[in-house]
Amino acid sequence: MSQETAFDTRAFRRALGNFATGVTVVTATSPDGVRAGVTANSFNSVSLDPPLVLWSLDKRSSSLEIFQQASHFAVNVLAADQIDLSNQFARPSDDKFEGILIEQGIGSTPLLKDCAARFVCEMHEQVEGGDHVIVIGKVVAFEDCGRSPLLYHQGVYSMVLPHTSMTQKVESRPASSVFQGRLAHNIYYLLTQAVRGYQADYQPKQLSTGLRTSEARMLMVLENDAALSLADLQREVAMPMREIEEAVANLKRKGLVTDSGERYVLTSSGRDQAESLWRIAREQQDKVFAAFSEEQLDSFKHALKTIIALH
């Protein structure tokens, strides 16, 4: 490990981003009734008996005082379809709760609806942690809704794709059990395994361009539109604003993107780079679907689009 890497905060944060996490919104109400909510992926379990959890809060947060004074806090574990909530609570604002339906938990903790899980905690201990405060809570109530969670990895929102240990091709695997036989006919299983295989082959090719996934995603989105604002970009790519800003800054430094006032456009080398990213995507698609006829491909696309439109 180079010394430089050890002390470059941005590189350090980026390296930490390889540790995939869930996303939570931690909320509390101060003794005088002011609510706070902060998007946090530093949440983790500490102890089962007593039931303790922790998260860490940036000392620069405008919500710091409220969390330090509050008797309780709630950890709302976000579900896969709650990216907007994550973004709303990651932005400093006078009223982060505007337009959001909440319920009230023990200690007046604001509870968000439709989460994957919720933990209401009594403040247990606050520990110094460099530029963060480590907040430890004793869980006094919890709810396990089991909804599919929102994940966060390398600055990009993600979703859970089940990983099975079955590495053989479905076709060549003998139907040794009723379970395996049924699995071979389960379309959800087939879809997830197909996506997993496709991704494992495709991602290294995209990374070989020297761009991070977040940067590549941004170039591919910009390719289609003449000029996008930061807000447009946030609608198009599933990333928090600070990551979008960082990716845009990197792309500007590399001379691939330029801004015309409030809007971002590709430079001519940016257009070339976006073109080569789309070419990689196209080649992967052609390779994977080489054995299919045009007609088969059309009906496959039709089936996928129909399923997507159901939601």
Ligand X SMILES: Cc1cc2nc3c(=O)[nH]c(=O)nc-3n(C[C@H](O)[C@H](O)[C@H](O)COP(=O)(O)O)c2cc1C
Q: Which residues bind ligand X (CB under 6 A)?
A: 23, 38-42, 55-58, 61-63, 86, 89-90, 92, 152, 240
DSSP codes joined into one string, 163-188: --S--S-TTTS---SHHHHHHTT-HH
* CB of 67 or CB of 264, closer to ligand X: 67
* CB of 92 or CB of 181, closer to ligand X: 92
* CB of 9 or CB of 306, closer to ligand X: 9
Residue 42 is which amino acid?
Answer: S
Taking the C-alpha atoms of residue 194 and residue 211, their distance in angstroms, rounded to an integer, is: 25
What is the closest distance, in whole angstroms, from the C-beta atom of residue 38 to ligand X in the complex? 4
* CB of 16 or CB of 184, closer to ligand X: 16
Distances (CA, A) of 62 to 20, 99, 120, 245: 26, 20, 22, 21
> Are the C-beta atoms of residues 43 and 24 closer than 8 Å to each other?
yes
What is the closest distance, in whole angstroms, from the C-beta atom of residue 151 to ligand X in the complex? 10
Taking the CA atoms of 44, 55, 235 and 247 in sequence, report the sign of the dihedral they define: negative
What is the closest distance, in whole angstroms, from the C-beta atom of residue 130 to ligand X in the complex? 12
- List % helix, strand, coil for the chain (3-state, nearest 5): 40, 25, 35
What is the closest distance, in whole angstroms, from the C-beta atom of residue 80 to ligand X in the complex? 14
* CB of 65 or CB of 283, closer to ligand X: 65
Taking the C-alpha atoms of residue 17 and residue 100, their distance in angstroms, rounded to an integer, is: 29
> Are the C-beta atoms of residues 227 and 237 closer than 8 Å to each other?
no
Residue 190, SS3? helix
Among candidate residues 263, 188, 190, the one with its CA nearest the CA of residue 233: 263
What is the closest distance, in whole angstroms, from the C-beta atom of residue 99 to ligand X in the complex? 17
* CB of 115 or CB of 277, closer to ligand X: 115
* CB of 240 or CB of 270, closer to ligand X: 240
> Are the C-beta atoms of residues 47 and 5 closer than 8 Å to each other?
no
What is the closest distance, in whole angstroms, from the C-beta atom of residue 25 to ligand X in the complex? 8
Taking the C-alpha atoms of residue 244 and residue 176, their distance in angstroms, rounded to an integer, is: 48
* CB of 135 or CB of 274, closer to ligand X: 135
Among candidate residues 276, 288, 286, the one with its CA nearest the CA of residue 211: 276
What is the closest distance, in whole angstroms, from the C-beta atom of residue 215 to ligand X in the complex? 17
Among candidate residues 75, 191, 196, 55, the one with its CA nearest the CA of residue 127: 55
What is the closest distance, in whole angstroms, from the C-beta atom of residue 258 to ligand X in the complex? 26
